Amino acid sequence: MKYWRVPLDSKEIEVSRGIVVIVEERCKGCGYCIAYCPRNVLELSPRYNVKGYHPPLVKKPDDCVNCHYCETICPDFAIYSLEIPPELPEQAVLPEFATEA
């Protein structure tokens, strides 16, 4: 997607990253999470769950931005995302815990 206006601080904005968790036994294979993920992170698994449905699988884990949309749209509470904490800046390490070089 090409934007006609870009924020002045766009290079400083840190995009959050997420880990997707799928509770396969709850899934009914409706595919909503796959169809509506804005980053196209998910796809249908060829495997069957205990109910006989194809659950989603994470095909592009590095592209998840932890937007929680899959979590919001899932009718069966079968998927959610967790934030990967950003790297701590070096200054965040207290001197008494710093390792000697």
Interface residues toward ligand SF4, by CB under 6 A: 18, 20, 27-33, 37-39, 41-42, 55-56, 64-70, 74, 76, 78-79, 81
Contact 32, 71 (CB under 8 A): no
CA distance 40 to 23: 19
Least spacing, CB of residue 84 vs ligand SF4, in Å: 11
Nearer to ligand SF4 (CB atom), residue 50 or residue 78 = 78
Q: What is the enclosing helix (H) or strand (E) of 42?
A: strand 42-44
Nearer to ligand SF4, 69 or 88 (CB): 69
Report DSSP state, residue 77.
S
